Structure formats: C-alpha cells, structure tokens
Amino acid sequence: MNKKSLLGLILFAVVVTAVLFMSAHYLSLQDHTDTKDYTNESNVDVLDSAEALTEIADSADSDVSQEDSLDITKDSSSEIASENSNQPSSEIATEEENTFSTAMNPVEAPELIVDSSLVDYQSYIPDMKLDSQLEAALDIDNPSLSIDAEAAILMDAETLEVLYYKNAVKAKFPASTAKLLTTLVALSWCELEEQVAVGDEITMIASDSTRAYLEEGEVLTLHNLLEGLLLPSGNDAAYTIAAYVGRKALDNPEATKEQAVSEFVQLMNEEAASLGVKNSCFKTPDGYDAIGQYTTAYDMCLIGAAAAKNSTITEITQKSTGRNRFISGEDVTWKSTNKLITQYSGQFYSNAIGLKTGTSSLAGRCLVAAAEEGGRKVVCAILDSTSAGRWEDAITLLKYGLE
C-alpha cells in the first residue's frame, strides 16, 4: 500500500470516528431531554395527587355543626355539583388548581341535630376530665338542697368558689345558654356602635329556632344585635353576629357564611378555654343541639361568671323588654325569655341580674342566672331541668348563695 492510500484510510477512519462520537453525544442529549420532560410530567401528577389528598383531608377535618345543617349541607353539595356539571372539564380543573393554591378551604355548615332519635350523638362526646384542679374546686362540704336539674352548680361570681354542685362535670348540652359565650366573643372583637348588615347567614338557623325576626338587608348596631340575641334569644341574631365577627377575624369580607361561622365557633372555643373551661366543645353560635357539641354545669358557670362581670351583658339581661331602632329604620321591641327578671311572671326574683335561658330536645330546660345583693354576686348553672324546675332551682341556689 502506497503512502497516499494509507493517508486516505487514516482520514476515513477519523471521519467515521467523529461521526459516531457526535451521534452518540446527540442521542445522549436527546435521552436526557426526554427524561427531564417525563420527570416534569410526573411532578404534575404528584402535585395533582397531593391536591386531591389535601381536599379529602380538608373535607374530613372540617367541623360539621348544628341546626338544619343536615339539609343545608346536602343542598350545598347539590348546588356545587350542579354548577360544576355545566362547566367544561378543563375549566373545572383550572378552578381546582386555583383553589388549591389561593382560596380558603371549603367549610361545611354545622351539623344540627333536629331529630335526636336519628343520630348517635353520644358517640361524639368524650369522657369528661376531672383533674386535680377540678377535684380541689369540688372538694367542699356540699349542702343538701332540693334541685330538680340533672346537673347544677353555684359559684361566687368573683372568686369562682364552688358553693354547691350536682353532677357538675357530667356531659350535658348548653342550648341557648351558649349565647353568653357568643356575646363575650362579640364584645372582645367589636364596639357596641359598629353597624352590621343582616345577610343570608340567617338561613342557617333551624326551622324551629327562637328568633329576633331579623330580615336580610336590615342594618343595625352590635348593641341592637346583642339585645336580639339575649332577650328573645334570637338564633338569627346569633348567626348574624357570628358571620360579621368571623369575617372580621379572617380579615376577609368575602368569606362565605360557612367559613365565617366556622371561624367564629373557633373563637368561641378559644374564649371558653381562656376562662378555664375544660370539658366543653361548642359547634354553633346559638347553642342549638349539634353533633359534637357538649358542656358541663361547671363550665357553663365559669362562662356565666364572666358574663355576670360584664356591664354590657348585665345591662341587657336585667331588662324584661328592650326597644331598639335599627340603622335601617326598623323599630322593634323584644321581650326577655327570663322569668327571673320579669315582674308578675310568677318566678320573679328581685336580686336577679340575668342571665340566659336555654331549651332544646337534648338539653332540656336550662338557665344560667346571676344575682347580687350587698356587694356580693353569685352565679348558677342549671342544666337539664324541667319547665318549672329551672326557675325554682335557680332561686333556691341564688338565695342560698346570697345568705
């Protein structure tokens, strides 16, 4: 082989080697690019799965609360399904992604117990805790008094010294006595002259609720609302307050009524805990029987003692009637449900300064009452009594406490 042929062969080999090297490099880059794209698609799938799991967890953890909410929850679900069914799937997916990243988690309305025979409500109530502090508080020479109520307690409103008790730490239901806690929360967040517009949150109350007969669109002050809450025991007033304060706490005036009420109920439980309450869980702003809601006479008396020391609450609850003119022009007069402060009621007690009645199918007849004489103030909680018994029980305890 001559020199020219040898050089040609070497050149050919170099060219072939270069081509093979460049081809291999190109294939390597293509494989890398394919792998990167696949990984990105996997990440999208993982995020979608995480979003779905988060939505499931949020749904499972959301508090389900009270009064006609069994029907409300069903109706809300139907409306959502109906709205989504009219949208292209791509639009639904886009909205779900936006919800996952920016919007508040969906919250259901309270799950109310309208018919207790259809609900295993007891399974939602944990064992009550009797810690050393509670044991010490109840370690008294308990007087022998005739009390009809299934659970009752009497305390000094200032020192919280227990003066009498009966089943003080037995799980019971608060009914509308819970509105004292609703009032305490509202007063901690608002000024009395703040103006509140009644919204569609009043549709969340049960059909058999006591009402202040508020209507959507009416505008009234917080003080007006508190009178509608505490005198005629308006459940509509309770939800109006809850929605207003809940949105304020969320710093979101666009929050749904369910989100706002849920936030308010959380504030109720936080306020109760700050007062020393340990064996209660509140689910609704009006106290209507609800899944997972319970309290004790001891806890309600702590709340009653705080209410009895609040001048706004005692100023309202000492009145047998209250006339209110709304910002929107309505002129209404509400009557108190508390016979202790109503002359000629047959259960009038001159030393009484309120506080709040409560009645429901699970709670029975309830009353948190306070009285004052000679600079001493006492408060009692009567849970699960009879129609006449709650007044007699309260007078018996309050008189004993003021002796």
- pLDDT tens digit string along 297-330? 999 999 999 999 999 999 999 999 999 999 999 9
pLDDT at 78 over 50: no
Angstrom distances, CA of residue 159 to CA of 95, 143, 201, 377: 55, 19, 38, 10
Helices (DSSP H) in 251-296: which residue ranges? 257-274
- Other C-beta atoms closer than 10 Å to the C-beta of 399 total 14
335 beta partners: 321
Instruction: Supply the pTM of this predicted model.
Output: 0.75
List, for residues 84-136, the tens digit of each pLDDT value. Answer: 333 333 333 333 333 333 334 456 789 999 999 999 999 999 999 999 999 99
The yes-or-no verdict on residue 144 having pLDDT over 90 is yes
The C-alpha torsion from 66 through 326 and 227 to 110, rounded to 10°, is: 10
Tens of pLDDT along 231-285?
Answer: 999 999 999 999 999 999 999 999 999 999 999 999 999 999 999 999 999 999 9
With a cut of 50, say whether residue 56 has pLDDT above it: no
Query: What does the pLDDT read at residue 35?
Result: 35
Q: DSSP H helical segments within 209-278, as ranges? A: 222-230, 235-250, 257-274
Instruction: Measure the CA–CA gap between 202 and 228, rounded to whole angstroms.
Output: 13
- The interaxial angle of helices 257-274 and 179-189, nearest 10 deg, is 100
pLDDT tens for each residue of 364-383? 999 999 999 999 999 999 99
Per the structure block, which two tokens stand in for 4? 């020219």
**Per-residue pLDDT tens over the stretch 202-245:** 999 999 999 999 999 999 999 999 999 999 999 999 999 999 99
Quickly list H helices, 275-353. Answer: 297-308, 311-317
Q: Give tens-digit pLDDT for 5-42.
A: 555 556 565 555 554 555 544 444 444 333 333 233 33
Distance from C-alpha of 133 to C-alpha of 380, rounded to nearest angstrom: 19
Instruction: Give the pLDDT confidence score for residue 108 in this predicted structure.
Output: 74
Rounded to whole angstroms, how far apart are CA atoms 195 and 357?
27
Cβ burial, residue 143 (10 Å; 0-12/13-18/19+): exposed
Can you give the C-alpha Rg of the chain in angstroms?
A: 32
**Helix (H), strand (E) at residue 393:** helix 389-402
Compute how many other C-beta atoms are within 10 angstroms of the C-beta atom of residue 380: 32
Mean pLDDT of the chain: 82
